[in-house]
């Protein structure tokens, strides 16, 4: 029988046997709901629905891609982040749930909430636009600018802004190179922060993502050093710099903040309890 229930069970078993994914049930459901153009609830509601030969063929083709290790987001073409459906391609980093911690940090900043009607935010290395668009969805009165050195990534971010009807300014810029003398109330970034020789770069989904969005020098901190140093001249007094980083980099980043005279330093943990977000304020 080629109904939804049996097809899903077969797919889950193949994924489990391959040992390549952490969530075989979810992956199978996402692949099938994408082929059938339904939400996952539909799969549970109509488990006996038969798949036609074309649907079966498409599903098996996508399942084979996943069995080869391709990221689920690349196969179905999107990833949900902060309630937004975002297109992703090989030119962008796949948005991670842990990055939602950064969004929460921004939303909890009292100084931004006091000036919510005219605050300005800069998102450095926007990729798919995930951070900038999530913030715009929560703070529609804020002026948000997002930059990336990759034009293909910017093209994806612009499409995501249009898809979600969110008005964000996008600039082709190598960090601050095209920002000129603009100053902001808040600068946010999920920059590359993996050591260039880290073996994890050859494992899992990251094998299919742009290396320039992942690795940054021998200790993973090259881009973060630049951002912390250059952000100062682009921040308003009492402005905040908020950076996502590796689980083992919080102490080094706090030192970088201190060396550049930032104050009110904070660190926040991700969903797994790992140090993930550091922030400091320009006095």
CA-closest candidate to residue 146, choices 128, 169, 173, 166: 169
Region 127-143 average pLDDT? 96
Mean pLDDT of 52-75: 94
- Convert the pLDDT of each residue in 183-212 to its tens digit: 999 999 999 766 666 555 556 666 665 655
3-class state of residue 212 by DSSP: helix
Span 139-160, mean pLDDT? Answer: 96
Instruction: Give which of 61, 14, 10 is closest to 35, Cα–Cα.
Output: 61
| pLDDT of res. 120 | 95
Confidence of residue 222 (pLDDT cuts 50, 70, 90): confident
* Mean confidence (pLDDT) of the chain: 90
Work out the percent of the chain whose per-residue pLDDT is above 70. 89
Q: What is the pLDDT of residue 49?
A: 93
Residue with the two structure tokens 């999107």: 78
Q: What is the pLDDT of residues 251-282, one digit of tens each?
A: 999 999 999 999 999 999 998 999 999 999 99
pLDDT one-digit tens code per residue, 239-255: 999 999 988 889 999 99
Q: What is the pTM of this model?
A: 0.88
Q: Which domains does the chain have, with CATH numbers?
A: 4-69 (1.10.8.10), 93-281 (3.40.50.150)
Mean pLDDT of 98-116: 85
CB atoms within 10 A of CB 5: 14
CA-to-CA distance for 159 and 251, rounded, in angstroms? 37
Contacts of 24 (CB under 8 A, 6+ apart): 11, 12, 15, 16
């Amino acid at each position: 029988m080629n109904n939804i229930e049996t097809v899903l069970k077969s797919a889950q078993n193949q994924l489990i046997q391959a040992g390549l994914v952490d969530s075989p049930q979810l992956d199978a459901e996402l692949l099938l709901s994408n082929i059938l153009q339904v939400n996952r609830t539909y799969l549970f509601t109509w488990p006996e629905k038969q798949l036609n030969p074309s649907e079966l063929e498409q599903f098996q083709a996508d399942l084979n891609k996943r069995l080869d290790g391709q990221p689920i987001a690349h196969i179905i073409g999107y990833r949900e982040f902060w309630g937004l459906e975002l297109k992703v391609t090989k030119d962008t980093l796949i948005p991670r749930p842990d990055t939602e911690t950064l969004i929460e940090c921004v939303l909890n900043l009292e100084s931004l909430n006091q000036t919510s009607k005219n605050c300005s935010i800069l998102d450095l290395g926007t990729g798919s636009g995930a951070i900038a668009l999530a913030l715009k969805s929560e703070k529609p009165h804020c002026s948000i600018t997002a930059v990336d050195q990759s034009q293909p990534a910017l093209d994806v971010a612009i499409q995501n802004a249009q898809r979600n009807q969110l008005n964000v300014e996008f600039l082709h810029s190598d960090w601050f190179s095209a920002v000129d003398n603009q100053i902001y109330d808040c600068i946010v970034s999920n920059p590359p922060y993996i050591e260039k020789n880290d073996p994890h770069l050859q494992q899992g989904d990251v094998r299919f993502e742009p290396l320039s969005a992942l690795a940054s020098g021998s200790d993973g901190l090259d881009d973060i050093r630049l951002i912390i140093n250059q952000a100062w001249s682009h921040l308003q007094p009492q402005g905040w710099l908020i950076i996502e980083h590796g689980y083992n980099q919080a102490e080094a980043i706090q030192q970088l903040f201190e060396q550049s005279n930032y104050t009110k330093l904070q660190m926040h943990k991700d969903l797994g309890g790992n140090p993930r977000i550091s922030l400091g304020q320009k006095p």
